[in-house]
């Protein structure tokens, strides 16, 4: 997917991986918060060669209205891979995989966000994968928690 | 973990442990007191609170807010108060008890797009916050310069017992109406004073987290007046 040769030696005799990392070394992580002006909270995360942009909007009015809950706020997540995020163009329409990852990330974030404080509202989390290199869902989740913290939507247990 | 008085905290971070009272933007889990926002922790007199650095406006009872009328129904105006909830200003608040939706036209008093200074009467989140414009300094705003700052920086702009805003008003002869929702209206007859007041507000918005802000603002106000 990353456009690399396939006949590469993954691990050499010195215990160095093909990209120069040691066996027990993680990929380089860079996170920047507050990168989008129009979003209530945002984050940009680079996790190795993964590049993901996250925007958090809300709490705000729920549209369509029938989705709103009078006892609690609702969390909506959209994980999406840009057509140019992978080697061969990806169809921008949400795939089965993206729909599932959106659901899984929503369920991972839900207990950490104080939605009860904002009944009848929605918090929208948009994750846009700009470049994918494996492990995008974890990176997207990490980026989302930073973006939520930036929006002061109070993720209560996102201490990394 | 250090128990410094003012410390930067992130959501989920344990501020302190022990028998403290949990106040603003904190919650307790066992004997741990945990922050819910990004901000500066403030531990004093057995209570813990966090002064937020980011965040929107959540309506509270008795808050003064500045809002824009966005629409109206037969009985009330809808007011955008820069919050996730839209404010509701009942027609009877202006027309009095004998308001009748047949004979009185709401747009004759307030039209869409009008700015008002209002006080929140009831904010219980189960319904939209109820506003009133009967009171001193409340009502329709006809003139002045509208500004927006982050709602989390409003307390800094007001200062301890209004010290900061009084200093700005005193130095520039401006009249500043501050809404808790981050909107403020500055009116001043003198254009230099108006510019100075705007610059002072912008300085506070930029450097709200810096210590000795009062001295800095004072310095700026005095330097420009020479």
Interstrand relation of B76-80 and B87-90 (parallel, antiparallel or unpaired): antiparallel
Question: From CA A71, how far away is CA A49, in angstroms rounded?
Answer: 41
Beta strands of chain A (E only): which ranges?
Answer: 29-33, 41-47, 50-61, 74-81, 121-131
B54 neighbourhood in chain A, CB within 8 Å: 41, 150-152
B126 neighbourhood in chain A, CB within 8 Å: 70, 119
Alpha-carbon distances, residue A79 vs A20, A99, A149 (angstroms): 30, 7, 18
Q: Report pLDDT digits (tens) over B113-166.
A: 899 999 999 888 788 899 999 888 899 998 899 998 888 889 889 988 889 999
Q: Of the candidates A120, A152, A159, which has its C-beta nearest B52's C-beta?
A: A152
What's the whole-number mean pLDDT along residues A138-160? 75
Task: Say if residues A48 and A62 touch (Cβ distance below 8 Å).
Answer: no
Residue of B nearest to A118 (CA): B125
Question: From CA A112, how far away is CA B122, in angstroms rounded?
Answer: 29
Q: What is the mean pLDDT of chain B?
A: 86
Which of the four pLDDT bands, split at 50, 70 and 90, describes residue B11? confident
Q: Of the candidates B11, B126, B152, which has its C-beta nearest A156's C-beta?
A: B11
Q: Of the candidates A40, A61, A120, which has its C-beta nearest B56's C-beta?
A: A40
Residue B152 φ/ψ, nearest 5 degrees: -70, -15
B125 contacts A156? CB cut-off 8 A: no
Mutating which of B28, B81, B84 best tests the A interface, going by the most A Cβ atoms within 10 A? B84
Residue A124 φ/ψ, nearest 5 degrees: -105, 130
Q: Of the candidates A61, A70, A156, which has its C-beta nearest B12's C-beta?
A: A156
Alpha-carbon distances, residue B197 vs A40, B64, B162, B183 (angstroms): 27, 20, 15, 15
Q: How close does chain A come to B38, measured CA to CA in Å? A: 7
Paired strand residues for A125:
A56, A77
Q: How close does chain A come to B50, measured CA to CA in Å? A: 12
Q: What is the mean pLDDT of chain A?
A: 89
Q: What is the pTM assigned to this prediction?
A: 0.83
Question: From CA B176, how far away is CA B165, in angstroms rounded?
Answer: 8
- Is the pLDDT higher at B113 or at A102? A102
A59 contacts B84? CB cut-off 8 A: yes
Touching check for B34 and chain A: CB below 8 Å? yes
């Amino acid at each position: 997917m990353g456009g690399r040769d396939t006949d590469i030696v993954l691990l050499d005799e010195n215990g160095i991986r093909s990209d120069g990392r040691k066996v027990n070394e993680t990929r380089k992580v860079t996170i920047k918060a507050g990168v989008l002006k129009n979003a209530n909270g945002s984050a940009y995360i680079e996790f190795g060669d993964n590049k993901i942009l996250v925007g958090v909007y809300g709490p705000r009015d729920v549209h369509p209205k029938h989705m709103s809950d009078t006892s609690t706020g609702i969390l909506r997540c959209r994980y999406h891979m840009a057509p140019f995020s992978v080697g061969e163009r990806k169809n921008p329409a949400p795939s089965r995989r993206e729909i599932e990852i959106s659901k899984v990330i929503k369920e991972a974030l839900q207990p950490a966000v104080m939605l009860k404080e904002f009944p009848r509202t929605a918090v929208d989390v948009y994750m846009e994968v700009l470049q994918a290199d494996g492990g995008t869902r974890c990176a997207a989740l990490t980026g989302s928690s930073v973006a939520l913290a930036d929006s002061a939507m109070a993720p209560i247990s996102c201490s990394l | 973990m250090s128990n410094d008085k003012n410390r930067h905290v992130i959501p989920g971070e344990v501020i302190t442990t022990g028998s403290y009272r949990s106040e603003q933007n904190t919650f307790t889990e066992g004997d741990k007191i945990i922050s819910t926002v990004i901000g500066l922790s403030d531990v004093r007199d057995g209570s813990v609170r966090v002064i937020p650095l980011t965040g929107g406006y959540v309506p509270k009872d008795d808050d003064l807010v500045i809002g824009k009328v966005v629409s109206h129904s037969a009985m009330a105006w809808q007011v955008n108060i820069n919050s996730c909830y839209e404010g509701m200003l009942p027609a009877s608040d202006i027309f009095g008890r004998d308001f009748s939706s047949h004979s009185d036209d709401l747009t004759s008093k307030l039209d869409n797009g009008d700015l008002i200074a209002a006080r929140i009467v009831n904010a219980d989140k189960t319904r939209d916050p109820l506003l009133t414009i009967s009171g001193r300094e409340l009502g329709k705003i006809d003139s002045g310069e509208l500004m927006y700052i982050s709602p989390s920086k409003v307390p800094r702009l007001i200062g301890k017992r209004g010290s900061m805003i009084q200093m700005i008003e005193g130095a520039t002869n401006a009249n500043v109406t501050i809404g808790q929702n981050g909107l403020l209206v500055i009116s001043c007859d003198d254009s230099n004073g108006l510019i100075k007041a705007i610059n002072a507000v912008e300085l506070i918005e930029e450097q709200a987290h810096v210590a000795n802000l009062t001295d800095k603002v004072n310095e700026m106000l005095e330097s420009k007046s020479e």
